Structure 1
Amino acid sequence: MKTTFSTAGLSPADAVARFLDKGADAYCPHITNLLTRGHVLDRSAFFVEGTFAPVGESGLTTLEMNAGRLERSRKDILRGDSDIIYIVTPLRGTFSFVQHGNTVTVGPGDLYVEDTRYPFDLYFSTHAKAMGFAVPVELLTQRVGSLGRLSGAVIRQDDRIGTMLVRHLRALAAADTDQLAQNQSWRMQDVALDLAAMAFSQVTATTPTLQAHADTAHTRLVQAMLNQLHRTDASVASVAHEAAMSPRYASALMAETGTTVAQRMRDLRLERARSRLQDPAYDVNKIIDIATSCGFADASTFARRFRESEGLTPTDYRRRAQSERQAAAPQVGVMTNAAKAPNIIHGP
């Protein structure tokens, strides 16, 4: 759900306290040294307001602030971990960002990357407003690989892919994301992430791994399930990791088809078990061997699940399949009664 915060109408002391208590957590936990007016703490001049709206597993933040500075220090990082990467574009005014000794100055239409896992300083030289796309580190690394070269990286406003990303984020900010269905929200996130991966691939010098097409993502997820059917410890997390997506996204993809990851895994295991019980090549295998090769923890669990699905025990199902094969097989060397009967021709 979209949330907002503002220091408007508050006393100077309350304004700073509200931002540190509410607003900073929406932007980045544990920000200190709120300095304004030439980096001299002037609580009477402090003003900030912003919004945060979830988009899939990510979020879209706006932050408006008068001239000043925000700092995330090493002490702040020790107070609370963060695994968020911000892809930021100024909406109004200019400001500077400092991280790992690199300083970048940006204006409207530019894009740069903030890595909240490390200390940084943000300087607003004038009253300014910025929009940030807050992305879990895992989702971005799945697309661009190592993030080591991205911190402080800048994509200028004349970059075509960067411009497309800025427009996409502006459209999301203007829309009521609370009204999006879950699958729509996830797809809007994926479009933004893919555009970001393409825009910043020139910095990382890598080929981005794009994932926005839902059908492709669904195919990858099902293939990961098939690859792990033999594992009794397979989980949402393990198959999502193999499919290069987050567990939440994997669950959302399955929800689109009216099921869950766990249920789809059970269905695929039963489908494989049925196939092997019907296959004469597996007649030499014990039922328990087939069960474990399909990822069932024990014979009793397999028998119960199989009976619920087929109305037969695995043993009875195999016997029926064997009987059907024998009935369908040609009878070699056996003449039918019709074949044995002589051909009698009656004369007139």
Structure 2
Amino acid sequence: MSVANDETATPGQRFTLASDDLPAHLDDRARLAVWQDRFAKYSCKLDISPVADRPFSIRCELARFQEIGAIRLQGTVDRFERPARYAAIDGSDDLILCLNQGGSVTTFTQSGRDATIRPGSMLLATNTMGGRLRSPANNPSSSLFIPRRRLGALVANVDDLLVRPVDAEFAPVRFLGRYLQLLFAPDDLGDEPALLAHIGTTMTDLIALAFGTGRDARELARMRGLRAARAHEILRRIAAGFSRPSFRPAEVAHAMGLSSRYVNELMQESGVSFAERVMELRLQKARALLTGPPQAVMRVGDIAYACGFNEVSYFNRCFRRRFGVSPTRISEG
């Protein structure tokens, strides 16, 4: 998602796209086309379907808090659709958090999976694929666009969480909804980098607490200050170097000017050790390579070495223990 700089943007990059602000002489069809074009300029390309028996009306508030984009929508629209061809053209690797802030049930579809989002509940999707949101007219909803790497640093196996609603009974979900309402209040947040960074971190932490399934997300989200910054940097370096067989905590420690013991302690505090994180990333990469297009699938031995394993037999044991099936079997479909 991109919120472009424009003369309409307020400090803190908050502004509104409303059908009421379009030229009065336009009919509903023309107003819809103009609004969609403007929305595509500031966010991403969408197809929307207005309610058939009511005049077209929509109000969209957009904001950016450094890397995180936020959108709040309400209008006489019952379908928002982003075909896969749009995602292929202007998609990023952003994750999309869809939050139902109205009183009616909405539905979401992506990659052949359907989900129901109850009032106050939320769902995680990806901007790299097409999707469709169905919602009754004038049922308000909000979306957050967050870089995958930010949430991936706090929550393991993000792809396993996609299109799986989290209900409003869970406290972090309720708090995130209230926090978003606060951010869209008319008060001027200004353009203070420290404040915008804090807002982005808070939203990321709340999403991690809502979707994280273990101590990993909860503890890392609660870490603050220098230790939190160092933990995030260690995670970034693990993500960049895990596929090298020689990759060790000492390498990260040396690059950051820390001791290996301190690096291991920070990872233990997050709930998953350095070695466990490296192993999980290697196995997830191997699974992705094994299930890729037939013409792109490599031999099991080559995949093992490409993912950081020195021995094929050890790779086979680890893979079977993690996924319950051998690499050869999963590659055969």
Same fold, TM-score > 0.5, yes or no: yes
Structure 1 residue corresponding to 2:216, chosen from 186, 196, 207: 207
The change in CA–CA distance for 1:215 and 1:175 in structure 2 (over 3 A counts) is farther
- Pick from 34, 57, 80 the counterpart of residue 67 of structure 2: 57
Q: How far apart are the structure 1 equivalents of 2:235 and 2:197?
A: 15
Find the residue that maps to 2:20 and give its secondary structure.
Answer: coil
The structure that has the greater radius of gyration is 1
Contact residue 51 and residue 137 of structure 2 kept, 8 A: no
Q: Distance in 1 between matches of 2:188 and 2:152?
A: 25
Structure 2, unmatched stretches of 5+, are: 1-12, 241-255, 258-333
Corresponding residue for 1:71? 81
The answer on whether the counterparts of 2:16 and 2:60 sit within 8 Å (CA) in structure 1 is yes
Q: Which letter does structure 2 place at the counterpart of 1:100?
A: S
User: Are 2:18 and 2:59, in contact at CA under 8 Å, matched by a contact in 1?
Assistant: yes
Q: Aligned to 2:237, which of 232, 236, 242?
A: 242
CA displacement at 1:220 relative to structure 2: 4.9
Match of 1:19 in 2: 35
TM-score (ref. length: structure 2)? 0.59
Unpaired runs of 5+ in structure 1? 225-238, 246-267, 270-348
Match of 1:48 in 2: 58
Q: Deviations over 1:220-272 (max 9, x none)?
A: 58xx6xxxxxxxxxxxxxx9933989xxxxxxxxxxxxxxxxxxxxxx99xxx
Report how far residue 22 of structure 1 moved. Answer: 1.4
- Residue 46 (structure 2) aligns with: 31
Q: CA deviation at 1:98?
A: 1.0
- Do the aligned residues in 2 keep the contact of 1:84 with 1:136 (CA within 8 Å)? yes
Q: Which of residues 122, 126, 144 is equivalent to 1:133?
A: 144
In structure 2, the partner of 1:110 is 121
Please report the TM-score for the alignment, with normalisation by the length of structure 1: 0.57
Match of 1:145 in 2: 156
Corresponding position of 2:14 = 2
The aligned amino acid for 1:84 is D
Q: Cα offset for 1:130?
A: 0.9
Q: 2: distance between equivalents of 1:59 and 1:185? A: 11
In structure 2, relative to structure 1, the CA distance for the partners of 1:52 and 1:244 (3 Å cut) is farther
Aligned CA distance change for structure 1 residues 183 and 216 (closer, same or farther; 3 Å): farther
Deviation at 1:2, TM superposition (A): 1.0
Q: CA deviation at 1:184?
A: 1.6
* Separation (CA, whole Å) in 1 of partners of 2:40 and 2:100: 18
Q: CA RMSD in A?
A: 3.0
**Identity fraction in percent:** 18
Contact 1:2 1:178 in 2 (8 A): no
Partner of 1:189: 200
